[in-house]
Each structure stands twice: as C-alpha cells, then as structure tokens.
Structure 1
Amino acid sequence: MAFPHPRGIIPSEIAFLAEMEMVTVVPRQRLEGLELLGGPIEPLVPPRRASLPLWLALLLKRQRRANIIPPAWLHPDPLGLILEVESQHQDYKNAFSPPPPLPGQPSVQDRAALEPIARPQYTPDGDRYYPSPPFLAQNTAQASTSARDMPALPFHWVEVGNMLLDAASDDLVDPDQTRRLLKDLREVRMAKMRSGVDVLDAAATGGGGVALTGVGAMEVGEERGFVAGVVNGLRKIGASKEQARREAMAEQRANGGYDGTQDDEEEDYMEF
C-alpha cells in the first residue's frame, strides 16, 4: 500500500535541489567542457581551480578526478564562532544568525547604515531576474568573507555540509570536529524553532508571524510538519473556545441575563 507524501517539499527533494549549488574543485586531470542545462562547464585543466555544480563535483571526487575545496564557512573556526553566537549571544537568544548577504548588499556590519540593494542579472534574452539559492555562489572558495565580517551559514548549509563530509572528508580541515559542530548547530537551531510556541499561538490567531530569517532549507523542510501541526492545533483550540463563548452567551440570552440588543447595535454600527 502506497502512502501519500506529506504536504510541501520533502527532505530528499531539498537535498536534490542542493546538489545544484556551485562548489570549487581542483582537477587532477584534463577534462573536456560540458554543455549542461544550467549552462556550459569550462574545460578542467589542472591545477587551475574551477566552479562546478555539487553533483558533478561529487561524481569527479568519487572517481578521484578532482579534489573539492570546502567553502569558507565549513571550517571548525567559523562554525565554532557561529555556534557561540547562536547559543550565547543575547541578541540571538530567540533568533538565528544572519544569512550571507545577497549580491549587492552591504556586509553585516554595514547593514544598519546602508539600504540593501540586490544586484539583478539578465538572461540571454535580456530578461532581468534576481538570483536566489542555489543559484548564488555561497559555497565556492571565492565566496569567502573578509576578516571583519562574521561568518554566515548559507541556505543549504545542512545538505552541503553533510554531502561533503560523506564524500570528501579528506578535503576538509578536521572533519570529525566539523561534524560535531554541525550536529551541535542543528540541535541549537532546532531547539529555537521548537521553543517558539508563544509566537505560533499569535500566528495561529492572526496576530503576527513566525520570523525565519537565516533558517536553512532543510531546517524549514524538517520542521514544516511540527509547525503546521502546532498551528492547526492552536486554531482548533481557539475555535472551541469561541464556540464555548457563543454557547454561554446564548444561554445567558435565553435566561434573560444578557442584553442581546447590545450586539445588534454594534453590528448595525459596523454595517453603517
């Protein structure tokens, strides 16, 4: 018996989309260029670096034809700093560390003084568009930030980190420590998402929303069922409370202890 998929995108589909992220490789042998749906791939000439989609880089790594250069954030020092900010910094006690800036945006230190302006790109037909992950170079070696900028987790940090740890751990600096830091980061950030029940209560009654700035794709996909279940449960509780209140008002009106003309006057005033 086949079971239906849950609503929304599932984790395996999120991981599939993350394989389109661009990473930096160092080829071990010459390879001809390729014409892919996402655009042409330049010929690989060792030891010149090249940017490839993650799925192709993993394939060449398994064939021992290339080495993968990990992105700047996938090192113990930046991950340790992000974990410290997430768990100890008062400004991020109930929030998440800021994501990497989009192309054309100022750095984290300059965002308070400047207005972020996204830089558009153009298709071969001349149509303008604004790229978003995984079509941003957030995991290439060239995407490293300056020393004064705080490191940031990209949108597909969970998927990219796990894939590189599984297939290219020998290219990473201290992979065991990196794996532990990634696990601790996921636990801290998951706890933040699950602890926002009060915010979900306000969102369920139409009093606000849930801020997910800086949350990754896999985190959203994994917590979608929990958040949706909590919101639906809170809506049912609110509906039952409203029904009980109306029944109590009707009972008071039937016993003569409630002046029903007040609601009628308020409804007439609202219609007017």
Structure 2
Amino acid sequence: MSLPALLQETFSPEEVQFIVENQKIKIFPRITTNKRRNLSDSNNEGNDDMSRWKMLTMDGRALETMIVMKSTEVTLWLALLLKQQSKCNIIIPEWLTVRGLELMLQYEKRNVDRFSALPWDWLVVSEILFKQAADDFNDPIHELRNRIQDLKEIRQMKVLQGLKYLNESHLQLDNLGILEINELRPFIVTVMDKLRLIHASGQPDEEESDEYGEGNADDVGMGTMLNSDTNMSSSSVPPNGTML
C-alpha cells in the first residue's frame, strides 16, 4: 500500500503513541492476583482463594504476581487498561512533578547549547497521563502543564539555533524526544536533500578538472618521448633544423 508523502518521512500521532505505550511504568495494584492458600477452610487446603483474580495477557508474569498496593512494573498500555477498570493507580514518574520539571527548566536555562536529559517519550507520556490518570498526580495539573509548555518552547528555540550546524550528512542534537524529532524530521530531511544536491552539483566539475589534469600529464609525457626521439635521431637533422 502506498503511503502519503508525509507519512513516508515521519510517524503519525497514532504510531508515536503506540510506540510509547509499550514502555514500562510502575503501578500500585488494587487487586491481588498472586496464588495463595485458603487458610480459612482446612478441607480446601490445596485450592486457591476464590477471591483471587485471574487475568489473561500475552505476558502474564507481572499480572499473576500482583499484590494490593505493592508496586509492580507493567507496560503503559496495560496500566491504562487497569486504570480504566479501577484496578490500579499509576505511579507518576519523578521527572513529571513540579520539582522535577523545575530542575529541568533550570538546566535548560543555564545551558543554552544543551538539552536536559528528559525521557525520550516525555511529551507523549505527560499528555497521556494528564488525560487518563489526572487523579494520580500530587501536583496541580495546570502547573505541570505550564512547565511542560515552558520546556517545550525553550527546547524549540535551541533546536532552531542548532540548525545552523546542519549539513548534508547529519545534524547532532542530543536528548531530543521522539515527538520533537518527529516534528522536525520533514523539514530537516528536505533541507538535507537540498544540501546533498548542492554538494553533488560541484562533483562533476572536480572530476572534469581531474580528467583534464590527467590529459595534460599524458601530453607532457608524450612530449617528453617525442623530444627524446628527436634527440635520438638528431644525427639526421642538420643544424638549421630542416628535415632531410
């Protein structure tokens, strides 16, 4: 299937979210799924407690060992699914707090040519958690959104300043997130393609000059040989230079 030109150079928002939702995040389960003995009934000593939840997934190792309010790590998409069913609380990452974002902002302001070491999926994760896990935040959402926006604007200005180092082969900007790269990629790819064309347009002239240079060298060599032949047959040439 042929894709539109835009999607050939970059990811769609849905593709970006799909990639990010496969990353791990910590949760506090509200249910217990680990196997345990029913001690209340000695006749059912070998049976599991009937209150235990059973869950089926592609990889059930984390789900089959969950204990109420004991932190465990699952993929983000699974955490969101459990959250929708009121079966867990999501543990907000340390960087996604007012204190954590303030530290990142201070670093961005102090270092005009460097980017803070935010996670590569910081913009996507923050937006997902703001929408689907707002009650798990300890800080006001509007304050977190303001700081996220400040970080985004500061980093965008640094990216624009870094474009002056762009050439036909690469552009190095460390610690950019996937969404930041995804937004820049179409423009960067177009510019680099133009730079490659400009760079390549100078190549034929150089090759042509090399060919001319090689031709001159052959002529000089041939001239030397002719002169040597003339010198070798100089006995048959009179002093006035007229051929006999």
**TM-score normalised by structure 2 residue count:** 0.67
- Pick one of 101, 105, 115 that aligns with 1:96: 115
The Cα offsets for residues 190-223 of structure 1, whole Å up to 9 and x where unpaired, read as 22223323211xx21x5xx322321112221221
Partner of 1:83: 105
Q: How does 1:13-52 map to 2 (within 5 A)?
A: 13-31=15-33, 32=53, 34=55, 36-38=57-59, 40-41=61-62, 42-52=64-74
Structure possessing the higher radius of gyration over alpha carbons: 2
Partner of 1:219: 180
The Cα offsets for residues 146-171 of structure 1, whole Å up to 9 and x where unpaired, read as xxxxxxx1121111111111101111
Structure 1 95/11 Cα, relative in aligned 2: closer, same or farther at 3 Å? farther
Partner of 1:125: none
Structure 2: which 5+ runs fail to align?
Answer: 34-52, 219-244
**Does the 8 Å contact 1:26/1:46 carry over to 2?**
yes
Deviates more, 1:2-11 or 1:217-226: 2-11
Distance 2:216 2:136 in 1: 70
- Pick one of 190, 200, 205 that aligns with 2:156: 190
**Does the 8 Å contact 1:34/1:43 carry over to 2?**
no
What percent identity do the matched residue pairs reach?
31
**Does the 8 Å contact 2:10/2:186 carry over to 1?**
no
Structure 1 195/48 Cα, relative in aligned 2: closer, same or farther at 3 Å? same
The Cα offsets for residues 213-255 of structure 1, whole Å up to 9 and x where unpaired, read as 2111222122111211222233344556x49x95xxx9xxxxx
- Pick one of 128, 132, 149 that aligns with 1:167: 132
Structure 1 268/178 Cα, relative in aligned 2: closer, same or farther at 3 Å? farther
Partner of 1:7: 9
Structure 1 84/158 Cα, relative in aligned 2: closer, same or farther at 3 Å? same
* 1:264 maps onto 2:213 in alignment: yes
SS at match of 2:28: strand
In terms of fraction of residues, the more helix-rich structure is 2
* 1:60 maps onto 2:82 in alignment: yes
Distance 1:19 1:233 in 2: 35
Distance 1:82 1:39 in 2: 36
SS at match of 1:214: coil
What is the Cα deviation at residue 13 of structure 1?
A: 1.1
Letter of the 1:264 counterpart: G
Partner of 1:254: none
Partner of 1:130: none
Structure 1 266/163 Cα, relative in aligned 2: closer, same or farther at 3 Å? farther
Partner of 1:210: 171
Aligned residues: 193
**Does the 8 Å contact 1:24/1:69 carry over to 2?**
yes
**TM-score normalised by structure 1 residue count:** 0.61
- Tell me how large the CA RMSD over aligned residues is: 3.1
Letter of the 2:28 counterpart: V
Structure 1: which 5+ runs fail to align?
Answer: 100-152, 251-259
Letter of the 2:213 counterpart: D
Distance 2:56 2:216 in 1: 67
